[in-house]
Amino acid sequence: MWRDTRMIMLTAVVAAVYAAVLIPFNAIVIIPGLTSVRPANVFPVIFGIMFGPAAAWGSAIGNLISDIFSGQFGAGSLGGFVGNFAFGFVSYRLWGNLGALSSGEEPDFRGNSGRQLVEYVIIAVVGSTACAAIIAWWLDILGLFPFSVFATIVTINNTLASAVLGPPLLYLVYPRIKEMGLLYPDVLRSEDYDTSAGARSTLGGYGVAATAILWVVIGVAIGVGVEGFGFFVSMGSVFNQGGSTIQMALGAVGFLSLFAFSFLARERFSQIRRN
C-alpha cells in the first residue's frame, strides 16, 4: 500500500478529515472532556469499506492528530492509535466475509439494501467493539480507567454514530467515490492486497466478530463481578499499579486473536467489485 501515491494521499486525507470532524462535532456529550457521541466515528467504518488499508492507517493517524490538537496527547494515545487502526481495518476485512450474513453486493444501499444494512450494522458493531476493547484494555493497563467502564462507553458511542450515520452516508457518497476511481480495488495493484473467497477467509471474518464481542462481554463481566470474579480489584492483585492482571491477560488473548483472525480474513470487496 505504501508504494502507491494515491493510497498515501488517501491515508493523509482520511486522517485529516477524521481529525477535523472529531474535534468540533460532538452530538451528545456524556461526560464532559471524557466521552461523547461523535459523528466522526462513522468514518473508520465507511472509509474502511471504501479505502481499505488507507482508511485503517488514516483513522489511526487522525485520532492521533485529534489528541494532539485537543491537548489529550499522552501515553493513552497509543491505545487510541491502535484501536482506531483496528476500527478501520476490521471494516475493510469484513465486507463480504461474513458468509450467509454478507450481502455479496457493493455497499451502495441501492440493490438488496436490507441485506446490505444487516451486513453493515454487523460490521459497525464489530469494528466499534474491537476499537473499544483495545482502547479500554490499554487504559486499563495504564491504570487510567477500569476496562468495564471505558469499553462499555466507547462501544455504545462508536456503534451509535457508525450504525446510524453509515447507511445514509454510503448511499450518498459511495457512487461518487466509485466514479472518482478512489475505491481501493481501483487504486491498488492486485498484488498489493490479499484477496480470497475461501472458507478460511469467512472463518477469519467470524473469528474477528466473535473475538471482539467476547472480549468486551467477558471483560465487562469480570469488571461487574459475575462468574465468581470479585467486583473489586484488590490493590494486591493490581499488577505493577497498572490494570488488573486478569484484564491484562484477557486483553492479551483478545488482541492476539483479533490480530490473527483479521489476517486470516482476506479482503473480499475487490471480488464483489469485479463481479
Partner 1 sequence: MSDSTSLYVDGDSLLHRLDPRSKLALSLALFVPAYVFGRPEYIAIPLVVAFAGLLAGGGWRNLKRIWFILVALFVVGLVLWPNFVEPSGPTLVDAGPILLTLDQLLFALGRSLRIATFVVTGLAYISTTANEELVRGMRGLGIPYAFCFAVGTALRLFPTFLGAAGTVRQAQEARGLDLSASNPIERIRNFVPLLIPVFMTAFRNVETQSMALEARGFDTRRERTFYRESAFAVRDWAAVALAVAVVVGAVALSSTGVGTF
Q: Angle, nearest 10°, between helix axes 113-141 and 245-264?
A: 140
The nearer residue to partner 1, 176 or 274, going by C-beta atoms, is 176
Q: Which stretch binds partner 1 (CB under 8 A): 104-112, 128-136, 171-179, 196-204?
A: 171-179
**Residue 101 DSSP class:** G
The nearer residue to partner 1, 165 or 209, going by C-beta atoms, is 165
Nearest to 18 by CA among 76, 77, 85: 85
| Positions in 2-31 near partner 1 (CB under 8 A) | 2-3, 5-6, 8-13, 15-17, 19-21, 23-25, 27-28, 31
In Å, the largest CA–CA distance within the chain is 59
Beta-carbon neighbour count of residue 249 at 10 Å?
A: 11
Beta-carbon neighbour count of residue 223 at 10 Å?
A: 23
**Structure-block grid coordinates of residue 228:** 465468581
Q: What binding mask, one character per residue, do residues 197-236 give for partner 1 by CB under 8 A, x or -?
A: --------------------------x------xxxxxx-
189 binds partner 1 (CB under 8 A): no
Q: Which of 48, 57, 124, 151 binds partner 1 (CB under 8 A)?
A: 57
62 binds partner 1 (CB under 8 A): yes
71 binds partner 1 (CB under 8 A): yes
Q: Which of 121, 164, 214, 260 binds partner 1 (CB under 8 A)?
A: 164
The nearer residue to partner 1, 150 or 261, going by C-beta atoms, is 150
**What type of residue sits at position 55?**
A
Contacts of 214 (CB under 8 A, 6+ apart): 254
The nearer residue to partner 1, 143 or 207, going by C-beta atoms, is 143
Three-state helix/strand/coil letters over 212-230: HHHHHHHHHHHHHCCCCCC
Decide if 255 contacts 131 (C-beta within 8 A): no
275 binds partner 1 (CB under 8 A): no
The nearer residue to partner 1, 145 or 261, going by C-beta atoms, is 145
Q: Which of 49, 132, 160, 246 binds partner 1 (CB under 8 A)?
A: 160
Compute the distance between CA of residue 273 and CA of residue 188 in angstroms, rounded to an integer.
Answer: 13
Q: What binding mask, one character per residue, do residues 110-149 give for partner 1 by CB under 8 A, x or -?
A: --------------------------------xxxxx--x
